Amino acid sequence: MTPRKPSGSFAPLEIHRFILPIAITFVGIMVSLIVGNLIGRSPPKIELIVYGCIVIAGTLFGNMLIIRSSNFNESYGWLNAILTGIGMGLLPYILPEDLSEISHILIPLAVIAIAIVSGRAHGYGTLLAIFLLDLPHLIGVVGETEEALGFGVPYAVSLVALEAVVRIKDTTQQHIHRLETINKVSRQIMLSLQIEQTISLLNATIQEALEADTYFIGILKGNEIHLDLFYDEGEYFNGAKAPLEGTLSGWVIRNEKALFLPDLRREVELEGVKNFVLGKEKTSLSWMGVPLKGENVTGVIALASYQPNAFDSADMELLSSLGQHITVALDNTIRHARVEQQAQLDSMTGVYNHGYFLKNLARQALESAANRTPLSLIMLDVDFFKQYNDTYGHLVGDRILKALCTAIKDHIKQSDAVGRWGGEEFIISLPGASGLEALQVAERIGKTMATLHVLDREQRTIPVPTVSQGIAIYPTEADEIYRLIDLADRRLYIAKERGRNQIEPGISHWQNFQK
């Protein structure tokens, strides 16, 4: 299990609200003791009056310090704990015998108040101080079972109450800390429009807010769940895939329902679900997942542990809340990515438009210069395309341009790029490719075009147009992208003037170029 994140502290006013009932009880009991002593005893017990006034003044002063001091524990925490312990330890010596049981109320209340204000260690410090001062009473009742049990009651109650209060306080602070973390990161991810950055923020949020051995965010693509974020016991397996069918994640996605399985040692009775191990070869014994369902995203977020009963209903509720934030964030980033991509592409052919290709080429040229590698450029034009359009119609012409772009994409790498330069003219960038390698790409594109089977509106086979191409290399032939484009463009027109269906320069140029 990953270590639990440290909880934040309550604000002074919040602590004051918690201990105000205890303070009122203390003051009320002390006032009653003083009044009862003055009215009911003759002569009155002066030490009880003095003690009561000191306790009242100390209680009121302590409450004022808590409200006014943001660093109360650093400045006054142990002093307050020890003074409270001394005050309560002296209580059995001050109280008349007929009122001795009041200490059974006040000692636990004092320990609880210190635990709320300063924490477990201070609470135990107070209890220890009380016990040491009260120790002579224990020595006096050794051998008297009933008296000894009576002596131990306030301490037993104080111990139980202290642990209960501290654990409730820690749990409350943990929930507050989790919600603050989710709210803080949700604001950040709403401003993030990059999927990688969004996933990174979500990873930090899960680690900060929840405790699990393994967790993942999966996005449905086709019949597979792509795990863009997958953490398993100290290692990341980002990019892994899981089948939609037969998995708990697939069940959550298909049914669009949250799934909480606190103990997987028991057989899971879910239709179509079978045991499926991802990441490390270990079987999770606790699992919970919630669906991610938005306009542009379908997926799941899941947490698991190798220990049974590692999660509770509060964890499940928190994961559901986190899932809603993740859905909105991913939906926004995917929508933005699609809009941004559409702004980069030519609407008819689907390749980069003129403006974005230039921007991308500038980036490739900088990388080429930094890495001292070549950057080849191919300018390509469809021969006699206007006549082709006039003869067979623009719909057939558009079909030819789309087929050409498909042929180009089939012969270039993912790091390469193709753009529409204008009309029937296209431009291809090949980072890292030499002139000979660019020539081979150009030849393959030309051969693929020659094998296309194109039909006209009457479904008759028509001839396929040829292409002319010009090649130039950065930085050896042109050390600036516009000069590079101009050189490739001039070579393209040399190829067209030579009779079209040509590549300029030919193989002899590139062979001599390398010598």
Query: Is 271 contained in some domain?
Result: yes
Question: What's the confidence (pLDDT) of residue 192?
Answer: 61
Are 359 and 333 members of one domain? no
Q: Which residue has the tokens 């947490």?
A: 303
User: Count of domains in the chain?
Assistant: 3
End-of-domain residue from the set 340, 373, 389: 340
Are 330 and 361 members of one domain? no
Query: Is 205 contained in some domain?
Result: yes
Are 291 and 221 members of one domain? yes
Q: Kind and range of the H or E element at 348? A: none
Are 133 and 27 members of one domain? yes
Query: The domain that contains 484 carries what CATH number?
Result: 3.30.70.270
Are 358 and 507 members of one domain? yes
Number of Cβ atoms within 10 Å of the Cβ of 58: 15
Tell me the mean pLDDT in the region 37-59.
Answer: 86
- Domain range for 271 is 194-340
Long-range contacts for 6-10 (Cβ within 8 Å, ≥24 apart)?
Answer: 6/177, 7/170, 7/173, 7/174, 7/176, 7/177, 8/173, 8/176, 8/177, 8/180, 9/173, 10/169, 10/173
pLDDT at 309 over 60: yes
Query: The domain that contains 277 carries what CATH number?
Result: 3.30.450.40
pLDDT at 389 over 70: yes
pLDDT tens profile 407-442: 999 999 989 999 999 889 999 999 999 999 999 999
Are 47 and 171 members of one domain? yes
Query: Is 2 contained in some domain?
Result: no
End-of-domain residue from the set 293, 311, 340: 340
Cα–Cα separations (whole angstroms), residue 61 to 23, 49, 103, 189: 11, 18, 22, 45
Are 87 and 145 members of one domain? yes
Reading the block at residue 87, the tokens are 């005050």
Are the CB atoms for 281 and 232 separated by under 8 Å?
Answer: no
Hey, what's the torsion of the CAs at 331, 332, 336, 337, to 10 degrees? Answer: -40
pLDDT at 4 over 50: no
pLDDT tens profile 63-98: 888 767 767 777 788 988 999 999 998 988 888 877
Statement: the pTM of the whole predicted model exceeds 0.85: no
pLDDT at 277 over 90: no
- 28-32, 151-155, 378-382: which range is least confident on average? 151-155
CA nearest neighbour of 177 among 225, 214, 145, 209: 209
- 243-247, 335-339, 473-477: which range is least confident on average? 335-339
Tell me the mean pLDDT in the region 342-349.
Answer: 86
Reduce the secondary structure of 212-280 to three states and give it as a string.
Answer: CCEEEEEEEECCEEEEEEEEECCEECCCEEEECCCCHHHHHHHHCCCEEECCCCCCCCCCCCCCCCCCC
* Mean pLDDT score of the chain: 85
Question: What's the confidence (pLDDT) of residue 283?
Answer: 82
Q: Distance (Å, rounded) from C-alpha 393 to C-alpha 398? A: 9
Question: What's the confidence (pLDDT) of residue 93?
Answer: 86
Are the CB atoms for 425 and 381 separated by under 8 Å?
Answer: yes
CA nearest neighbour of 117 among 11, 262, 203: 11
Beta strands 240-243 and 224-232, pairing class: antiparallel
pLDDT tens profile 450-495: 888 887 777 888 888 999 999 999 999 999 999 999 999 999 999 9
- 51-55, 268-272, 328-332, 406-410: which range is least confident on average? 268-272
Number of Cβ atoms within 10 Å of the Cβ of 196: 10
Hey, what's the torsion of the CAs at 405, 407, 410, 414, to 10 degrees? Answer: -20
Q: Distance (Å, rounded) from C-alpha 181 to C-alpha 176? A: 8
Residue 474, phi-psi category: left (phi > 0), alpha (psi -120 to 50), beta (remainder): beta
Beta strands 298-305 and 454-455, pairing class: unpaired
Collapse the DSSP code of 352 into the 3-class scheme (helix H, G, I; strand E, B; otherwise coil) and give the result.
strand
Are 160 and 254 members of one domain? no
Q: Output Rg (C-alpha) for the chain, integer angstroms.
A: 39
CA nearest neighbour of 463 among 453, 471, 472, 473: 453
Question: What's the confidence (pLDDT) of residue 276?
Answer: 57
Are 376 and 257 members of one domain? no
pLDDT at 301 over 70: yes
Phi and psi of 420, rounded to 5°?
A: -90, 115
pLDDT at 5 over 60: no
Question: What's the confidence (pLDDT) of residue 489?
Answer: 95
pLDDT at 390 over 60: yes
pLDDT at 7 over 50: no
Query: Is 187 contained in some domain?
Result: no
As to burial, measured by CB atoms within 10 angstroms (0-12 exposed, 13-18 middle, 19+ buried), residue 493 is middle
Tell me the mean pLDDT in the region 312-325.
Answer: 86
pLDDT tens profile 61-72: 888 887 677 677
pLDDT at 341 over 80: no
Report residue 2's pLDDT band, with 50, 70 and 90 as the boundaries: very low
Q: Distance (Å, rounded) from C-alpha 293 to C-alpha 140? A: 71
Q: Which residues of 387-420 are buried (b: 16+ CB within 10 A; e: fewer)?
A: ebbeebeeebbebbbebbbebbeebbeeebbbbb
Query: Is 143 contained in some domain?
Result: yes
Are 469 and 388 members of one domain? yes
Residue of higher predicted confidence among 342 and 58: 58
Cβ-Cβ contacts under 8 Å for 77 (sequence gap 6 or more): 117, 118, 122
- 44-58, 271-285, 495-509: which range is least confident on average? 271-285
Question: What's the confidence (pLDDT) of residue 462?
Answer: 84
End-of-domain residue from the set 340, 373, 393: 340
Are 363 and 510 members of one domain? yes
Query: Is 63 contained in some domain?
Result: yes
Are 415 and 319 members of one domain? no
Reading the block at residue 396, the tokens are 């057939």
Report residue 279's pLDDT band, with 50, 70 and 90 as the boundaries: low
Are the CB atoms for 274 and 294 separated by under 8 Å?
Answer: no
Query: Is 6 contained in some domain?
Result: no
How far from each other are the two terminal CA atoms of the chain, in whole angstroms?
A: 62
pLDDT tens profile 106-127: 899 999 999 888 888 999 999 9
Query: Is 453 contained in some domain?
Result: yes
